[in-house]
Structure 1
Amino acid sequence: MKIAIVGAGIVGVTTAYELARDGHEVTVFDQRSAAAEEASFATAGLLAPLLLSPWALPGYGLPLRVLGAQATVRLSGGLDRRNLAWLWRWRTAGKQHSAPAATLERLAQYSQARVQAIASQHELDCEASTGRLVLLRSEQELATVQPALQVLRDLGVAAHEIDAAAARVIEPGLSPEAALAGAIHLPGAGAGNCRLFAQLLRQGTQGSGVRFAFNSRIERLHGAPVGVQVQGDAEPRRFDAVVLCAGMASAALLPALGLRLPMTALYGYSVSAPVREDTHAPRASVVDLGQQISITRLGQRVRIAGGAEMAGASAEHHAPTLQRLYRTLNDWFPGGAQLSSGLQVWRGARTMLPDGAPVLGASGVPGLWLNTGHGAGGWALASGSARVLADLIAQRTPEVPLDGLGMRRF
C-alpha cells in the first residue's frame, strides 16, 4: 500500500519503520526540517513502566490541584472556557481513575521490548539505561502511589518498596543529606534518548521503503479517497491510507472531516547538563514523586525534566519552574552535573487528552488512521503503538489489547 504519515516525531518515525517493515511504501510529511524537532526533541527519556512516570495518567501518583499557589498545572495568560473544560475532564478522570491504566502499561511494556529489539537488530546506541527509583519524601507520597503500584503488580511488573539505605545502594550518588522516606525500585524500567533513537531510525529507514518530505505543512486531510494536501499544492496527494501522528496539529486537521478530539498542549521543561562528577551523578533514572520531576542519565549528560503549563508555544520560559528543576537536581545529586556551562534548556508540548491516553486505531473515516495524543508517554508508547497500528492496517490482531484507546470514547 501507499501510506502517508503526518508527523515525523518519535511516533511518526516508529510508525514509518513498522509499516515499511511490512512492505508498504511510506511517505512521512513534517513541517520542520528534520525528525524529532518538536515534542520529541528533549523529552525526559523514560520508557516503561509508564504509570510511575511524571504526568503519565491523571490520578496515578499525581496531585490534582487546579487552582492556587500549589496548582499542578500553571495557567499562563488566564483560564478560558476551552482550558477550563479540559481541566474539568482531566480532574474528573483522575478522581475516578477512569484512564485505561492496565491497557497503557501493557502497551508501554510491549513498546519497551520493541525499542530494545530494534536497537539490538540495527545496532542503535540511544544512550539506554536500565532501572529506576521513585523517590518518596514522606509516607503520604507512598500512599498516593498505591493505585499505580497495584496496577503494576497485577500485571506482574517488578516494583519493590525499599528504605532509604537500600535506595542509596542502588543510586550511590543520592545526597546523604536529602530527606528520603523510602523509594520504589523498578529494576526493569528503561530510559534512553528519544530524539537520538528517532534520528537513527529515520536514517536507517530512508531509502528502504520510506521517504521523508520535510518542510511540508499539511493544510488539509481529505477523505473518499483519502489523501493529504500540502500547503502550496493545488490538488491533494492521494494515498491508500493516511496515519495522523501530528501532535497538536492533529486536533486542527480533524474537524474538516467531521472529527474532533479534546486535545490540549501542556508545556513542560527539560535541562540537559554535562556530567560533572560521575560518582555524584545518577546511574540510571530517578523520579521525585512529589515534585513530578525526573532525573535521567543519558550517556555523559544528566537530563532533568518537569513542569506543566497551559500557555502558547511562543511563551517565554518560566524562570521559577526552571529554578525548581535545578533545585531538585541539587537536592538529590549535588555536584553530579555541570550547571555553569554547556546547558541545553528546552520547553516542549505534551499533546494530551483528558484521560492521559492516546487515540490509536481507525478514525471512522475510511483510510484514515490515528496514532496521536500520547501526552507525556510519547517515547514510552511510540514503538508499541507503531507496531499495533501496522497490525491493524494489515488486519492482524495486535499482540496487546487496545481497550479504551479508540476514538469512540470521546
Structure 2
Amino acid sequence: MQPLNRLAIIGGGLAGISLAYEFSQRGVLCTVFEAESCGGAGASTMSRGIVRVYDPDPWLMRQALQGLRRWQQLNKGFPGLFVQCGCLYLLKAEQTTTAQAALMQLADAGYQAQWLNGPADIVRCQPLLANRALPADQCAIWEPEGGYVNTRLACQVLAQWARDQGAVILEGCSVTAIELQAQRVAVWALGQGALSFDALSFDALVLAGGARSTELLPDTDLFCRSIPLSLLQAGHQPALAQCLIDETCAAYLRPELGGWFFAGGADQIDVP
C-alpha cells in the first residue's frame, strides 16, 4: 500500500472532522469538503451525542471506552465539549448474562459501572422512572462517567484544531462527483458562487457524508438509517438529569440546558 500523504474527507460533521483532526496530527494533509458549515448540517446538527461504554458487542465496547477517555481529554482543553452527567442503560432480558460478563470486563479495564438489579435499584438511581411500570426482572447498567457531547461545538473546535495542524476545510463546498482510480481518488466539487474545482487528486478518500453518501456512490450497498428525534421541554415537571438508553423499546433521552431534553429512537420502517 502506498504511503498516505493526501486524504480527502467528504462531510464536515463529527465523524469527518474528527478524522481530519486525528490524521492531521499524524502529518497527513487532509482536505474536508463540507456543503454547509462544520457541524451545521446532517446528523451532527441535532445529534443525541450520548457517550457511554457498555455495548452488547464486546469490540464496540472496547472502542467506546477509548472514545470516552478521548472526550474527557479533549474537554480539558475546551470545557463544554463533553458533559459528564451519567448514563443509565436499561437492558433487554436476553442481554442480562452477556451484560454481567461485560461489566466484569469494564471493571478489569478500570471503568466504574454499577449493576442495577430490579426496579427498586433503578428508581433509586433515576427517580423519574418511578412512574413507569418496570418489569420485576428489569436490570440496568449505570455509568457515572457517561454523558453527552455538544456535537455542533465539537465540530467547530475540532475543525479549528485541524486547521492549526495544516488541514484544509472547505465549507460551503459541495462534492459533485468522485472517481475511484487505480492508485488515486479524484474529487470534483462546486463551491459558493462561481467557485468550482476541477478534479483534485488524493491518495485516499473517506466518505462521511451521512445521507448524501448514497448519492455519491449509488452502486454500493451503503445504507443510511434515519432515527426520529424530538426536542422536548419538561415544563413544570422535574427535568431529566442523566442520559437514558432503553433497549427494551429502542429509545433514548438526553438532557439539554434549561429543562430541555432530546428524545428519539425507533425501529427502522423504510427498509425490509
Alignment TM class, shorter chain as reference: 0.7 to 0.9
Kept after mapping to 2: 8 A contact 1:152/1:159: no
CA distance in 2, matches of 1:189, 1:42: 19
Q: Report how far residue 45 of structure 1 moved.
A: 2.2
Trace 1:347-366 onto structure 2 (pairs within 5 A): none
Letter in 2 for 1:178: R
Instruction: Indicate yes or no: 2:236 matched with 1:282.
Output: no
4+ residue runs over 6 A deviation: none
Specify whether residues 161 and 5 from structure 1 end up closer, same or farther in structure 2 by C-alpha distance, changes over 3 A only: same
Compute the RMSD of aligned alpha carbons.
3.0
Kept after mapping to 2: 8 A contact 1:3/1:24: yes
**Partner of residue 20, structure 1:** 24
Instruction: Indicate yes or no: 2:219 matched with 1:263.
Output: no
Q: TM-score under structure 1 normalisation?
A: 0.54
Task: For structure 2, list consecutive stretches of 5 or more residues without a partner in the other structure.
Answer: 108-112
**Partner of residue 30, structure 1:** 34
Kept after mapping to 2: 8 A contact 1:8/1:29: yes
Letter in 1 for 2:149: G
Specify whether residues 170 and 161 from structure 1 end up closer, same or farther in structure 2 by C-alpha distance, changes over 3 A only: closer
Report the secondary structure of 2:224's partner residue.
strand
**Partner of residue 371, structure 1:** none
Q: Report how far residue 19 of structure 1 moved.
A: 1.4
Cα deviations by residue, 1:357-394 (Å, 9 ceiling, x for unpaired):
xxxxxxxxxxxxxxxxxxxxxxxxxxxxxxxxxxxxxx
Letter in 1 for 2:146: A
Q: Report how far residue 42 of structure 1 moved.
A: 1.5
Q: Report how far residue 251 of structure 1 moved.
A: 4.2
Trace 1:193-272 onto structure 2 (pairs within 5 A): 193-218=150-175, 219-223=177-181, 224-231=183-190, 233=196, 235-254=198-217, 260=220, 262-272=221-231
Report the secondary structure of 2:12's partner residue.
coil
Cα deviations by residue, 1:238-294 (Å, 9 ceiling, x for unpaired):
2343332223444444478xxx3x2222211212234535x8222211123322111
Instruction: Indicate yes or no: 2:82 matched with 1:124.
Output: no
CA distance in 2, matches of 1:11, 1:175: 33
Kept after mapping to 1: 8 A contact 2:207/2:213: yes
Task: Say which is worse superposed, 206-215 or 16-25, in terms of deviation.
Answer: 206-215
Q: Report how far residue 208 of structure 1 moved.
A: 3.8
Kept after mapping to 2: 8 A contact 1:13/1:202: yes
Kept after mapping to 2: 8 A contact 1:47/1:192: yes
**Partner of residue 255, structure 2:** 297
**Partner of residue 7, structure 1:** 11
Report the secondary structure of 1:282's partner residue.
coil
Kept after mapping to 2: 8 A contact 1:295/1:305: yes
141, 146, 157: which one aligns with 2:96: 146
Specify whether residues 282 and 13 from structure 1 end up closer, same or farther in structure 2 by C-alpha distance, changes over 3 A only: same
Instruction: Indicate yes or no: 2:64 matched with 1:108.
Output: yes
CA distance in 2, matches of 1:50, 1:215: 37
Task: For structure 1, list consecutive stretches of 5 or more residues without a partner in the other structure.
Answer: 52-59, 61-100, 313-353, 355-410
CA distance in 1, matches of 2:188, 2:245: 42
**Partner of residue 131, structure 2:** 177
CA distance in 2, matches of 1:50, 1:217: 37
27, 40, 45: which one aligns with 2:49: 45
Kept after mapping to 2: 8 A contact 1:266/1:310: no
Kept after mapping to 1: 8 A contact 2:39/2:153: no
Specify whether residues 236 and 171 from structure 1 end up closer, same or farther in structure 2 by C-alpha distance, changes over 3 A only: same
Q: Report how far residue 151 of structure 1 moved.
A: 5.7
CA distance in 1, matches of 2:32, 2:80: 23
Kept after mapping to 1: 8 A contact 2:75/2:82: no
Cα deviations by residue, 1:82-119 (Å, 9 ceiling, x for unpaired):
xxxxxxxxxxxxxxxxxxx2222111111111111112
CA distance in 1, matches of 2:197, 2:15: 29
Letter in 2 for 1:205: A
Instruction: Indicate yes or no: 2:117 matched with 1:162.
Output: yes
Report the secondary structure of 2:71's partner residue.
helix
Letter in 1 for 2:207: L
Report the secondary structure of 1:39's partner residue.
helix
Report the secondary structure of 1:206's partner residue.
helix
Report the secondary structure of 1:103's partner residue.
helix
Kept after mapping to 2: 8 A contact 1:4/1:28: yes
